[in-house]
A and B are shown apart, each in its own frame.
Chain A
Amino acid sequence: MIEGILIGLNTALSFKNILMVMIGCFAGTIIGMLPGLGPMTAIALMIPITYGFEPSTGLILMAGVYYGAVFGGSTSSILINAPGVPGTVATSFDGYPMAQQGKAGKALAIAAYSSFAGGTIAAIFLLFAAPSLSKVSLAFRSPDYFGLMILGLTAVSAFSAKGHFLKAMMMVVLGLMLASVGQDTLSDIPRFVFNNMNLADGISFVLVVMATFAMSEALTIIFKGSDPTQAAKQISLSKLGSIKLDKEETKKMVTTIPRSSIIGFIIGVLPGAGSTIASFLAYGMERNFVKDEEKLKFGKGSVNGLSAPETANNAACSGSFVPLLTLGIPGSGTTAVMLGALLGFGIQPGPRLYQTNPEIFWSVIMSMYIGMVILLILNLPLIPYIARILAVPRAFLIPLILFFSVTGIYLMSFNNFDIYLMIGIAVFSTILRLYEFPMPPLILAFVLGGLMEENLRRSLLISDGSWSFLWDRPLTLCIMVSIAIIVGWQIYKSFFQKN
Chain B
Amino acid sequence: MRISPVKIISLLFFIFSGLYLYYAYQIRVFSFDENAPFNAKTFPIYLGYTGLFFSGLYIVLPEKKPSNVNLSVLDYRKTITLVILMIIYGITILKAGYFLSTSFFLVLSYITLGEKRWFWVFTLSFPFVAIFMFLLHGLLDIYLRDPFLKYLGIIG
Complex interface residues of chain A between 4 and 56 (CB less than 8 A to chain B): 52
Whether B37 lies near A460 (C-beta < 8 A) is yes
Q: How far is the CA of A394 from the CA of B76 in the complex (A)?
A: 17
Interchain CB contact (< 8 A) of B40 among A184, A393, A395, A495: A184
Interchain CB contact (< 8 A) of A180 among B36, B43, B82: B43
Whether A223 lies near B74 (C-beta < 8 A) is yes
**What's the minimum C-beta distance from A298 to chain B, rounded to whole angstroms?**
28
Nearest chain A residue, comparing its CB with the CB of B78: A222
What A residues does B74 contact at CB under 8 A?
223-225, 434
| A contact residues, total (Cβ < 8 Å) | 62
Interchain CB contact (< 8 A) of A225 among B10, B38, B69, B75: B75
The stretch among A165-173, A248-256, A478-486 that forms the contact with chain B is: A165-173
**What's the minimum C-beta distance from B126 to chain A, rounded to whole angstroms?**
13
Whether B114 lies near A222 (C-beta < 8 A) is no
Interface residues on B, range: 35 or more
Whether A435 lies near B38 (C-beta < 8 A) is no
Whether A191 lies near B40 (C-beta < 8 A) is yes
**A289 CB-CB contact with B under 8 Å:** no
Listed in ascending order, the chain B residues whose CB lies under 8 Å from chain A are: 5-6, 9-10, 13, 17, 20, 23-24, 27-30, 33, 36-44, 47, 50-51, 54-55, 57-58, 61-65, 67, 69, 73-76, 78-79, 82-83, 86-87, 89-91, 93-94, 98, 102, 105-106, 109-110, 113-115, 120, 124, 132, 136, 140, 142, 144-145
Besides the contacts A189-B30, A457-B42, what 15 more A-B pairs have beta carbons closer than 8 Å?
A: A176-B47, A177-B44, A187-B29, A187-B30, A191-B27, A222-B82, A395-B110, A406-B90, A423-B87, A435-B5, A435-B67, A491-B61, A495-B61, A495-B63, A495-B64
5 A-B pairs with CB atoms under 8 Å apart are: A163-B65, A223-B79, A224-B73, A416-B93, A457-B42
Listed in ascending order, the chain A residues whose CB lies under 8 Å from chain B are: 52, 163-164, 166-167, 169-170, 173-174, 176-177, 180, 184, 186-187, 189, 191-192, 219, 222-225, 393-396, 398-400, 402-403, 406-407, 410-411, 414, 416, 419-420, 423, 427, 430-432, 434-437, 452-453, 456-457, 460-461, 463-465, 491, 494-495, 497
